[in-house]
Chain A
Amino acid sequence: KNEVEQSPQNLTAQEGEFITINCSYSVGISALHWLQQHPGGGIVSLFMLSSGKKKHGRLIATINIQEKHSSLHITASHPRDSAVYICAVRKTSGSRLTFGEGTQLTVNP
């Protein structure tokens, strides 16, 4: 079993819908990262969080340390949000990241 599991693997939505992507992990962590990979292949960091909630524009990330779970929400989704969203955790014991397999999001107009 992977240490970081994402769900769903694939998600198709209509423009304007509220989207949730989930990430569960099974190890102690010092931080959790959400990354976005666009069809062109580039990867950018969206959020880095160790507790609570962060918001940037239409994106919201939450984490529940006790339940070892994080969610990424997109409000008022848009076709330009179509991308792969990747969850990664930094274990308490080191500096390396462990990645989930990613969630492919497609937002149709």
Chain B
Amino acid sequence: NAGVTQTPKFQVLKTGQSMTLQCAQDMNHEYMSWYRQDPGMGLRLIHYSVGAGITDQGEVPNGYNVSRSTTEDFPLRLLSAAPSQTSVYFCASSLPGQGHEQYFGPGTRLTVT
């Protein structure tokens, strides 16, 4: 099992550019989430999904879109990057039957200039 994988590991964007952060898991987990981690603020939920075809907003969804066409993949799209989106992004997955124990991807460090 690869667990949760994320690509890319690092990315630099200019303001206004768009891009997609990829996340995939091979554990057949129903729940997948995207978080951002900023200094002094802890992890904050951007969007989450409870299964293929179902997504919902978290605490800080503005400027991001998600879709969940398969159980395995949960990409995060930045529509028009802004410097405020400079952060480290983590994807995580879990299974309700396992008490939602969280499995995290390695993270993507994004800088927007």
> A101 in the interface, Cβ–Cβ < 8 Å?
yes
**Which residues of A, 19-43, contact B by the 8 Å Cβ criterion?**
31, 33, 35, 41-43
**A-B contacts, CB under 8 A, total:** 55
Q: Judge whether B107 and A96 touch: CB under 8 Å.
A: no
Q: When A90-B100, A96-B48 are in contact, do A41 and B106 touch as well, CB less than 8 Å?
A: yes
What CA separation (Å) do A4 and B101 show in the bound complex?
18
- Chain B interface secondary structure, helix, strand, loop or mixed? strand
> B74 in the interface, Cβ–Cβ < 8 Å?
no
Nearest A-chain residue to B45, judged by Cβ? A96
Q: Judge whether B42 and A48 touch: CB under 8 Å.
A: no
What CA separation (Å) do A43 and B45 show in the bound complex?
15
Q: Out of A31, A42, A48, A101, which one reaches B104, CB within 8 Å?
A: A42
Q: Judge whether A43 and B90 touch: CB under 8 Å.
A: yes
A100 to chain B, nearest CB (A): 6
What CA separation (Å) do A48 and B102 show in the bound complex?
9
Q: Judge whether B40 and A95 touch: CB under 8 Å.
A: no
> B97 in the interface, Cβ–Cβ < 8 Å?
no
**Which residues of B, 31-46, contact A by the 8 Å Cβ criterion?**
31, 33, 40-45
18 A-B pairs, CB-CB below 8 angstroms?
A33-B101, A35-B102, A35-B104, A41-B88, A41-B107, A43-B102, A44-B104, A45-B104, A86-B42, A88-B102, A95-B31, A95-B48, A95-B100, A96-B48, A97-B43, A99-B42, A99-B43, A99-B44
